[in-house]
Amino acid sequence: MRTQVGIVGAGPAGLLLAHLLHLQGVESVVLERRDRAYVERRVRAGVLEHGTVQTLREAGVGKRMDAQGLVHTGTELRFGLRSHRIDFTALTGRGIMVYGQQEVVKDLIAARLDAGGDVRFEIEDVALAGLDPQEARIEFVQDGARHVLDCDFVIGTDGFHGVSRSYLPDLVSYERSYPFAWLGVLADAPPSSHELIYARHANGFALHSMRSPSVTRMYLQVSPGEDLSEWPDDRIWAELHTRLADDTGFALTEGPLLDKGITPMRSVVVTPMQHGRLFLAGDAAHIVPPTGAKGMNLAVADVRLLSRALGGYYAAGRDDLLAAYTETALRRVWRATHFSCWMTSMLHRSPDDDVFGEQLALAQLDYVVSSTAMATSLAENYTGLPYAQGWSYR
């Protein structure tokens, strides 16, 4: 088989890139090891930056998002039993959209299939070959048969545990592990607040979020090696009530827990994000702790760059945009990594925190909510820094 761009991974990064390339007349094939049902139902991120929302609208895949997504114009920081609202729109003129990653994936798969795109699920034994300045090749097994896909470029959007990153020689990885994890739950209960609540408490961090008007998403800070069996539903609800309490009598709505799991916290950035005809995007190249809501949004930023660079290559024979991809992408990646690290350290209790460390964190939070400059900085980063250029070369 032959195509112009071979994409490994059918998450939001790979699917969006395929669609943006299609809009510029560039062909692609997307290969995914999971089945379609699994990809469409796995719950991941849910906060879309202003620029991500605009990108999906411009690409023609935002109709359902605009109908079902929840527009937020601010967020709440809660500490010392007091609540403080950061008004994103007043400070930056931008907001966010709460719309689950799995819903974005559904929309993108539907768009690719409606346009006659080639998206293949349940792919096994993916191997990359070539990858020199002249050609690239993806070998894989589908339905028990071995296939070879020749292409001009390979884009690895197959996540942190995918195979693509292993094909980059001389890769440098910068990593930080955090001394805590998140216990996340999905509750069949209407949200208790119309915006997200980030709470720092003596017992640890808590986050109140949502996925729809009837489903709440919440998190608790726990130890990295925590045993999920030690957290029955009653204990989870009791801790959520405690950590999210404020001096106004905040009432947390309970409901059956549909899902729960523990997620470790880490930061990873690899460089370079390219070699020859191979390029990485999204979690294949970088991981951020979810406190700053940057994971999927960074993936969108990566594929915007790749979409324009590949569009320029095919439309005008330009290779300078592709050559500059790593340098350009990493500027935003490191900014988002810093913001995520800052939010994480400010809102979580470290096992090493003493009274001194606790007071420093509270002083930082107090400064954020009392200083227009600091609140604006948080709002700018949270809603997403503006893009320098569009996703299309045309």
Between the CA atoms of 238, 239, 240 and 243, what dihedral angle is there, to the nearest 10 degrees? 130
- Which residue among the candidates 198, 219, 313, 393 is catalytic per the annotation? 198
User: Any catalytic annotation for residue 147?
Assistant: no
Cα 12 from Cα 157, distance rounded (Å) = 9
Residues 6+ apart with CB under 8 A from 380: 91, 92
- Which residue among the candidates 99, 219, 313, 382 is catalytic per the annotation? 382
User: Any catalytic annotation for residue 72?
Assistant: yes
Greatest pairwise CA separation for the chain in angstroms: 65
- Which residue among the candidates 178, 290, 313, 393 is catalytic per the annotation? 290
- Which residue among the candidates 294, 313, 325, 348 is catalytic per the annotation? 294
Residue whose C-alpha is closest to residue 291's, from 215, 345, 360? 345
Residues across the chain: 394
Taking only Cα atoms into account, the Rg of the chain, rounded to an integer number of angstroms, comes to 21
User: Any catalytic annotation for residue 382?
Assistant: yes
Residues 6+ apart with CB under 8 A from 250: 83, 192, 193, 244
User: Any catalytic annotation for residue 63?
Assistant: no
User: Any catalytic annotation for residue 179?
Assistant: no
- Which residue among the candidates 50, 72, 208, 348 is catalytic per the annotation? 72
22-27 contacts at long range (C-beta below 8 A, 24 or more positions apart): 22/112, 22/115, 22/117, 23/59, 23/60, 23/392, 24/307, 24/310, 24/311, 24/314, 24/315, 24/392, 24/393, 24/394, 25/314, 26/310, 26/311, 26/314, 27/3
User: Beta-carbon neighbour count of residue 240 at 10 Å?
Assistant: 24
Cα 295 from Cα 289, distance rounded (Å) = 8
Could you list the active site residues? 72, 198, 290, 294, 382
